[in-house]
A and B are shown apart, each in its own frame.
Chain A
Amino acid sequence: MKEFRKKYENKFKISIFKCLTMPIVFFTVQFLVKGGSEFSQGLVTGVFSALMVTAIFSLVSTYVILHNEEQLKKRYIEETDERNIEIAKKTMQTSSLISLYLTAIAVIISGFISEVVSITLAIDMIVGVIITVAVGTYYKKKM
């Protein structure tokens, strides 16, 4: 539980850092794209607004959790519950497998329509497989 509290304290510090640096980064980027199109300016504003909202939300929720022992324990149980962890693992495993098969089908179908799209999808699939094999090898050595 102490480690969990520490994790949330660090999360709180990161949220403060994000909230403080985000406006500086935003105005810097906004200054850089000043001469750019309306679309790029709008995109930058949209992305930074979304990031700012999530950072503030994270800051407030972390603060509330850190100052309420009951909430902290509830969150600890939710995050460390072994069934939830097992569900998350199986979800990731199944969804990545489905995604891989769907990409393979998309590679074949797009091959008849556009060569560029087909090659892009094939590269994406190959990179995905390489990452899976690399991560699998890492865990085989670790455990």
Chain B
Amino acid sequence: MKNKIQELRKSRKVTQQELADALCVTRQTIISLENGRYNASLTLAHKAAQFFGMTIEELFIFEGDENL
């Protein structure tokens, strides 16, 4: 699943560590999310969407049956 985390984070001049602290996850999780190696849970997606002030659909791009 693609997401706009890196793009939004950079545009708002937020560091990976700051975002990680705000979402209560490790910096490594943010790196993995940005690289698309890890898909966030619903809770984390919700927290991230709240942080950027947008909806989950706007932040995460669902590309069909990824795990089917």
Size range of the chain B interface in the assembly? 10 to 19
> A residues engaging B (CB < 8 A)?
76-78, 80-84, 86
Q: Give the residues from 22 to 64 in chain B that come closer than 8 angstroms, CB to CB, to chain A.
A: 24-26, 28-29, 32, 38, 40-41, 43-44
**Chain A residues in 8 Å Cβ range of B25:** 77, 81-83
Most A C-beta atoms less than 10 A away, residue of B25, B38, B40: B25
- A80 (CB) vs chain B CBs: closest residue: B24
* Distance A81 CA – B31 CA, assembled complex (angstroms): 13
**Chain B residues in 8 Å Cβ range of A77:** 20-21, 24-26
- Nearest chain A CB to B28 CB, angstrom units: 7
- B37 (CB) vs chain A CBs: closest residue: A83
**Chain A residues in 8 Å Cβ range of B40:** 82
* Distance A78 CA – B29 CA, assembled complex (angstroms): 11
Q: Please name 18 pairs of A and B residues whose Cβ atoms are closer than 8 Å in the assembled complex, sorted by A.
A: A76-B24, A77-B20, A77-B21, A77-B24, A77-B26, A80-B24, A81-B24, A81-B25, A81-B26, A82-B25, A82-B29, A83-B26, A83-B28, A83-B29, A83-B32, A83-B38, A84-B26, A84-B29
* Distance A81 CA – B24 CA, assembled complex (angstroms): 7
